[in-house]
A and B are shown apart, each in its own frame.
Chain A
Amino acid sequence: DVKVTQSSRYLVKRTGEKVFLECVQDMDHENMFWYRQDPGLGLRLIYFSYDVKMKEKGDIPEGYSVSREKKERFSLILESASTNQTSMYLCASSLGADGTYEQYFGPGTRLTVT
């Protein structure tokens, strides 16, 4: 049974703080993804990684960076949090290199930036 976990369910940070969101998967998946979910906007891809130390920009990478030092762990970094980054953040992982495998999502982190 695939398990994707995220470091926090709820997080409150102040504007300008550096924020780290961590995601861990236990199924040896090659691909990992970070999405943000906002009402009416669906799931928007921030960054993804198809291998250790590899990263690719998604559709909304501005204001974010990522790190993948180990296969099972993918971190999302907000260098200087802003109020417009208040959102639900979802991590996901999947097998395979061609993007046609099921994505398994984590429980999400609801981030509030005040």
Chain B
Amino acid sequence: GENVEQHPSTLSVQEGDSAVIKCTYSDSASNYFPWYKQELGKRPQLIIDIRSNVGEKKDQRIAVTLNKTAKHFSLHITETQPEDSAVYFCAAKGFQKLVFGTGTRLLVSP
């Protein structure tokens, strides 16, 4: 089945810096890659997703890139703000279900 690895597990940046979180997946048939953000004490929420027929997708300060050949995808956050501090989960759609990565705790210091 699908296996998703996510790095780093923690990431500390200064406000205004960029942050990059990377994920790899194992199943070449996976075709959907969402990213979820979970603020402290709250439920995970979808922030951006990408499908396998697209190489990059942007939404304001966040972007996701997908390299199908290498089977990895990344989340890029530019001009980070303290409210970006949260745990971020990548996921890949395997057979019938999403498989999540283990999460990255992002801390943005003012």
Contact = CB atoms under 8 A, between A and B. Distances in A.
B9 interface: yes
A40 B101 contact: no
A106 B43 contact: yes
Interface stretch (B57-65, B69-77, B78-86, B92-100): B92-100
Contacts, number: 53
A90 B103 contact: no
Interface string A42-83: 111100101000001011000000000000000000000000
A105 B97 contact: no
Chain B interface category by residue count = 20 to 34
Contacts of B100: 35, 42-44
A21 to B, nearest CB: 15
Given A100-B31, A105-B44, A41 B98 contact: no
B92 to A, nearest CB: 10
A1 to B, nearest CB: 13
B18 interface: no
B43 A99 contact: no
Nearest to A91: B43
A108 B39 CA distance: 13
B22 interface: no
B43 A100 contact: no
A58 B43 CA distance: 20
A58 B97 contact: yes
Contact of B89 (A42, A58, A59, A106): A42
A111 B46 CA distance: 25
Contacts of A48: 96-97
A42 B98 CA distance: 12
Interface of B: 1, 6, 9, 31-32, 34, 36, 42-46, 49, 51, 89, 93, 96-103
